[in-house]
Amino acid sequence: MKFTLTRNDRSIRSARLTVIRSRLFRKYAAVFVGVVGVALVVNGAFEIWSSLEERKDLLLRNQREQAMAAEEKIEQFITSVQSELRWMTVRSWSADTLQAKYLDALWLLRRVPAITQLTELDPSGHEELNISRLSMDVLGRGTDRSHDPDFTEAVAHKVYYGPVYFRRGSEPYMTIAVSTTLPHSEVSAAEVNLKFIWDVVSKIEIGRHGDAYVVDDKGNLIAHPEINLVLRHTNLSGLAQVKAAEADGAPVDVAKDVLGRNVLTAYARIAPLGWAVFVELPTDEAYAPLYRSALRSALILAVGLILAVTAGLFLARRMVVPIQALGAGAARLGSGDLSQRIVVHTGDEIEALADQFNDMASKLQESYAGLERKVEERTHQLELANLAKSRFIAAASHDLRQPLQALDLFVAQLRGKVAAPDRQRIIKRIGIAVAEMNDLFEALLDISRLDAGVVAPTLSEFPIASLLARIETTFAEAAREKGLSFRVMPSDAWVRSDQRLLERILLNLASNAVHYTSRGGVIIGCRRRGKALRIEVYDTGAGIPADQRQRIFDEFYQAGGKQRWGGGLGLGLAIVDRLSKLLEHRVELTSTVGQGSCFSVTVPTIPGRRVPVQPSRSGALPDIPEDKLVVVIDDEMLILEAMSGLLTDWGCRVLTGLTCSVALGELGAEKPPDLIICDYHFSDGTTGTEAIERLRDAFKATIPALLISGDTSPEQLRLVRAQGHLLLHKPISPMALRATVSQLLRATSAADRSPEPKIPAAL
């Protein structure tokens, strides 16, 4: 058999191959350049944005500090004037003559240059003397000023700060009047020149073009480096930053200044006066270094893009050229040029495909050369070529199926005939993985409960020895298996705390000590500190560097890295931190790198007393009353079947339903169930609380209920707690479920379903 192509067919095929080659080249080049370019652009934009935010925060923090420093100086100035006036008031009260008061007043004006005018009022509000730098002094005038705010406010509040006014419409002044706490005290009132405040703000250096200024409670400009703005009696209440300061709202970081420039602004309030000190820096000056950095980043980005384009074109060509050679060679072979050989040296499947094509071409060429041979021989040669092609396709398919086959083999290990040791090994591995997942879920749930504020401590008084004994029982064997010593020093102290939560703290500390100690041992002991007991957990581990001693209390953080410290979830100390704050117990850490660490928790103590020892029942399974009717509602059939089988094994009668309506239909005329176990979220948008209320309404009874959910969000925890329902989180261990069901059913039997059953502790 021989196939030939016309000239037109060959030209069409050649055109198609050219189009395909062009598309491949453009596609690979565009993909590479796009990925690299997007990565460079995103990284550059993020760096610029983060630098902008960091510099902005730094500048604003510096401006706030400068504003607070200016505010302190201004407040000290006002306080010093007020103190001098109060001294004058006390001196006036004890002076023998008006002339002595006059001399004291002159001395005060000499000592406090900021006071322009001083007025002394007697206890009835009549003017005794008026001393001024700008006019004639007046003694004994007796003018009645008992209704002036200077007098009334000073008598009522012992100090009076008058509003800022501008003498001759330019210079800012204010009135300060003071009185003493003595009965029938005199009042000293001073007109204070506020130019001193200008001296304060004019010395503040904020960049090259930044300003600091002061406004009163009405937005009037009191002090500004540009004194002309003050002398023109400028009002800045229209500026956004001044409005925010007057309203005590959130501060405005970027706004317009009095000159219309965009500025970074920060302020501090002068509390006694209601004034505000503003420190502002033009954004152009503040961000100038960032603009230069952004320009450099843009240049680097441009160079990176050029390199990416060049590399993309080069790599695309390296990828496309073998495919082009394969396509061109296949086209020539298909046109009948069996002497053509495809030369590809890539060392991958494309080279294998080229070899297959070359092999096919050789065999076809031999077949065409021996045209005189029998047709059967030529057909055989074609079959060989087809077989070779099939082998190539099979090999390529095999390579693609390898990942899928590996997955099937892992799953099939437990389905097939597996020897008992191997099966136990696989089951043990699965159990370990499930246990680790459960530990993570439980730790995350504990943190969610603590962050949601739904864990309330129940304080009691108990001997610390019982708690320490449980800690020793829990970890002694694990420590021995690691070759560590584990000692718990006895103590007869009694403490006041939540026994369950304090035990959780010590369990986490002891667990960390055993887990992160590879040689030596762990010691747990107690020290009395006044009316408190310091419980200490020592280990001889690698120690914790000083720069990491605070971060180890963060979630998912492990000091030193996983390679050095081993595995773990990184949540134990985060739970310790939250529980200690909830109980108000101080947790401390001391550590020496290479020698070990000591975690301690301080607990209040009480006088000790004797109590009878109760027998332990830790190994007993909680009993469940027999023949109790339990309704299980869940829209997951597998969970429904598993829950039903487990409850039936425990001696309960079980009715199940995918929805509340199905469960009601199954119950029919039955008596009210003894317990409802319900999923929290259903696929139709309803919740388990709605299903519980519907069942209770249907039977007109307060039926105990248990909610089960995989949602651990703090919002849901608070909502369910507010509704008074008990909530367990998936995955639930059979022992925990049995204990909860037993407690609810026994509470129902004891109370005859009249009161609401008591909810067990969730943590």
Note the pLDDT tens digit of each residue in 574-613: 888 888 888 899 999 999 888 899 999 999 999 876 554 4
pLDDT confidence bin for 539, thresholds 50/70/90: very high
Q: Is it the case that residue 54 has pLDDT exceeding 70?
A: yes
Q: Residue 623 corresponds to which tokens in the numbers above?
A: 């009993």
Q: What is the pLDDT of residue 637?
A: 83
Write out pLDDT tens, residues 76-121.
Answer: 888 888 888 888 777 654 545 778 888 888 888 888 888 888 888 8
Alpha helices in 516-611 (DSSP H): 562-565, 572-583
Q: 708 pLDDT exceeds 80?
A: yes
- Over residues 643-654, the mean pLDDT reads 86
Question: CA angle 508-513-514, nearest 5°?
Answer: 100
- Paired sense of beta strands 187-193 and 211-215, if any: unpaired
- The answer to whether the beta carbons of residues 231 and 27 sit under 8 Å apart is no
Instruction: Please tell me the predicted confidence (pLDDT) of residue 387.
Output: 52
Residue type present at position 164:
V
Q: What is the pLDDT, as a whole number, of residue 220?
A: 86
Q: Which of 545, 669, 529 is nearest to 595 (CA)?
A: 545
Residue 401, pLDDT score: 40
- Angle at CA of residue 305, ends 304 and 309, nearest 5°: 120
E-strand ranges in 47-186 read 115-121, 127-132, 138-139, 159-161, 165-167, 171-179
**Cα distances (angstroms) measured from residue 602 to each of 135, 446, 469, 505, 533:** 70, 22, 18, 11, 6
Among 252-256, 464-468, 713-717, the least confident range = 713-717
Residue 534 pLDDT more than 90? yes
491: phi then psi, degrees, rounded to nearest 5: -150, 140
Q: How far apart are CA 9 and CA 744, in angstroms?
A: 84
174 close to 165: Cβ distance less than 8 angstroms: yes
Start-end of H helices in 584-713: 637-649, 660-667, 688-699
Mean pLDDT of 306-331: 71
Query: Taking the model in full, what pTM does it have?
Result: 0.38
pLDDT at 1: 39
Place of tokens 């196939």: 3
Average pLDDT for 492-506: 90
Per-residue model confidence as pLDDT tens digits over 274-297: 888 888 888 888 777 777 777 777
83-to-86, 87, 302 alpha-carbon distances in Å: 5, 6, 66
- From the list 36, 641, 534, the residue with the least C-alpha distance to 303 is 36
Residues in the chain: 763
How far is it, in rounded angstroms, from Cα 498 to Cα 462? 9
Report the pLDDT value the prediction gives residue 615, as an integer from 0 to 100: 44
Q: In this prediction, what percent of the chain has a pLDDT beyond 90?
A: 6
Quick count: other Cβ atoms within 10 Å of Cβ 155? 19
Q: Is the dihedral of CA 613, 614, 615, 621 positive or negative?
A: negative
Q: What is the pLDDT of residue 134?
A: 83
Please give the order of strands across the beta sheet that includes 705-709. 653-657, 629-633, 675-679, 705-709, 726-729
The predicted model gives 545-559 an average pLDDT of 74
Helix and strand element counts for the chain (H, E):
20, 24
Mean pLDDT, to the nearest integer, of 195-209? 79
The residue among 489 and 456 whose pLDDT is bigger is 489
Are 238 and 257 spatial neighbours (Cβ–Cβ below 8 Å)? no
The interaxial angle of helices 7-94 and 288-334, nearest 10 deg, is 160
- pLDDT (0 to 100) of residue 697: 87
207: left (phi over 0), alpha (psi -120 to 50) or beta: left
Q: Which two tokens stand for residue 386?
A: 């087809």
- Name the amino acid, one letter, at 15: A
**Measured torsion, CA atoms of residues 480, 484, 485, 488, in degrees rounded to the nearest 10:** -80
How much is the mean pLDDT over the chain?
76
Give the burial string for 157-193 (b: 16+ CB within 10 Å, else e).
ebbbbbebebeeeebbbbbbbbbbeeeebbbbbbbbb
44-48, 150-154, 425-429, range with greatest mean pLDDT: 150-154
pLDDT tens by residue, 465-484:
989 998 888 888 888 888 99
Looking at 237-251, 355-369, 539-553, 728-742, which range is the least confident one?
355-369
Q: Which range scores top for mean pLDDT: 314-318, 355-359, 680-684?
A: 680-684
Answer whether 207's CB lies under 8 Å from 188's CB.
no
Q: Read off the pLDDT of residues 655-675 as tens digits, 9 standing for 90 and up.
A: 888 888 888 877 776 678 888
pLDDT at residue number 50: 75
Mean pLDDT computed over 438-464: 69
